[in-house]
Amino acid sequence: MIHAYVNRDNLEYDIYALLKAFYPEEEVNICVIHDGEAEKESVRVPSFYDVRLYTDKVSCLYYEVNDSSGGGEAENGFFGNAIHCSSEEILAPGRAVAKDAMKRCIYRCASEVSGRTLPWGILTGIRPVKLAMARINAGDTDEETGKLLTYRYLMSEEKKKLSIEIAHKEKEILKKIDRYGGYSLYIGIPFCPTTCLYCSFTSYPIAKYASLVDDYLAALKKELDLTNEIFKGKSPDSVYIGGGTPTTLTPEKLKELIGYLKNLFDFDKILEFTVEAGRPDSIDKEKLVTLKQLGVTRISINPQTMNDATLKLIGRRHTVEQFKDAFQLARECGFENINADMILGLPGEGLNEVEHTMEGLKELAPDSITVHSMAIKRAAGMAEYLKEHDEIKSINTPEMLGCADRAARELGMKPYYLYRQKNMAGNFENVGYAKAGCEGIYNILIMEELQSIMACGAGTVSKRVYEDGLITRCDNVKDVELYLNRLEEMLERKRKLFLNFSGE
């Protein structure tokens, strides 16, 4: 258990996230003690390892790392450090600057105590590329941007280079996008063949919920009608049908949904039309032919790993062979832009398994690969599974990331988007790699929050992005039955979210 005491409000989450990044297994307790109470409180705190961080005018923070060996005096030795921010750092203008100074203090101290460094330095947010992008847009050179990422955020050399490379790539791709006058459309199909062990998305096993499909499609049509009304018939820049697994729908239902969509919008104006065909066990020739005929430009078929034992363990209920067959079938049906998702840090996997997966992907040569670092969410079965199976670990390492990066680059791909999540194995990131022209535009728009997104379906989130940087959002309820029952209320919230959208 780590306790942190801070004497300023609104810093709790930053401190919590940073300490968690160093100590993912530990519970972290943040306590706000206002000035004057700190000394009193520190006496009360049993100090095993007592690391005190003073950031003068910004905050005063204490935290202790509970020592299972019971060595109560250690604070005067190795861990008894007082780290002071320089007054220059503290007095620099702006609250964000002062907050970063405080985080650097915590970082240095926690790094000394734990013996670890973090690849993303003090950054705990999910969109680190935004920082590089902002500096590049402001006219900074790569060298100037790099200095900021190194000194202010303590980013590793490797992540600094990756951020700058991706920021340039995003900038180039976004030239095609009407950022504030346009929008993109997301449609969520919350059904899957089975539920994967690590899943934290809105997903229901199709066999059990098949009777709801008709009602669900009817609700989606109402949401699409509203989209047409709000945006006055203007076509979205990109359309993404995700989930869940949209290809759990029958070919007839896919035709019904996409046909409806095509009657509302002019697809000649749409830059990208993606459908997730994620689970190989949901795909057959008829569905692929249907999607191709309906004008889908990009699909995603996801192995996650090329190791059958792991697929079984994570409840995917398909084999590596099935993935390969589905991929080849998609090629035969004429798909020229196929993405493959994979995950680093799957239980029991190490560098050997990742190498094997990358070799298998190299043989198939997809057009893009999205490399995810396992994020263990409390709501997913994975957290429980790992607790019960102490001998099986979810591990990610720089070598595993390097292996995936090298393989993607050998396939002629470059990284084009990146985001982070909470509780990621190794505190790393998810990176999308693609061959030139095969990048998923929607992925950049949603992850970097660069364009308004109209999102339809259970568990989806619509966002309105304003030119001054403000972002407002409205969530659809996750539970599919509640979604059906409360549809009118959600439509109304979206009307308000996008009020007076056109004309911006």
Query: Where along the sequence are the contacts to ligand SF4 (CB under 6 A)?
Result: 192, 195-196, 199, 201, 203, 243-245, 278-279
Separation CA 314–CA 195 (nearest Å): 9
Secondary element (H or E) of residue 398: helix 398-410
DSSP single-letter state for residue 375: B
Beta strands 191-192 and 204-205 are parallel
Least separation in angstroms between residue 199's CB and ligand SF4 is 3
In the complex with ligand SF4, the residue whose CB is nearer, 48 or 191, is 191
- Comparison of 124 and 302: residue with beta carbon closer to ligand SF4: 302
Instruction: Using alpha carbons, select from 153, 432, 199 the residue that is nearest to residue 317.
Output: 199
**Beta partners for residue 434, in sequence order:** 368, 414
* Cα–Cα dist 303/306, whole Å: 6
Taking the least distance from each CB to ligand SF4, the nearer of 128 and 459 is 459
Closest contact distance (angstroms) between CB of 447 and ligand SF4 is 17
- The angle, 0 to 180 degrees and rounded to 10, between the axes of the packed helices 142-151 and 129-137 is 140
Q: Is 341 helix (H, G, I), strand (E, B) or coil?
A: strand
Q: How do strand 272-276 and strand 238-243 relate by DSSP bridges?
A: parallel
For ligand SF4, the closer of residues 125 and 205 by Cβ is: 205
Least separation in angstroms between residue 193's CB and ligand SF4 is: 8
Smaller CB separation from ligand SF4, 81 or 195: 195
Q: Name which of 357 and 452 has its Cβ closer to ligand SF4.
A: 357
Specify the residue, 278 or 366, whose C-beta has the smaller distance to ligand SF4.
Answer: 278
Of 227 and 245, nearer to ligand SF4 (C-beta) is 245
Q: How far is the CB of 281 from ligand SF4 (least distance, A)?
A: 10
**Cβ at position 129, least distance to ligand SF4 in Å:** 24
Query: 3-state SS of 288-318?
Result: HHHHHHCCCCEEECCCECCCHHHHHHCCCCC
Q: Write down the H helix ranges in 316-380.
A: 320-332, 351-364
Q: CB under 8 Å to 165, separation ≥6 — which residues? A: 414, 415
Considering the complex, what minimum distance in angstroms separates the CB of residue 276 from ligand SF4? Answer: 8
For ligand SF4, which is the closer residue by CB, 302 or 452?
302
Tally helices (H) and strands (E) across the chain.
19, 18
The CB-of-305 to ligand SF4 minimum distance in angstroms stands at: 13
Please report how close the Cβ of residue 237 comes to ligand SF4 at its closest, in angstroms. 25
Distances (CA, A) of 168 to 66, 367, 429: 44, 20, 18
Helix, strand, coil content of the chain in percent (nearest 5): 45, 20, 40
Look up residue 445 and give its two tokens: 């728009």
Cβ–Cβ under 8 Å, residues 399 and 341: no
Closer CB to ligand SF4, 124 or 357, in the complex = 357
CB 190 → ligand SF4: shortest distance, Å? 8
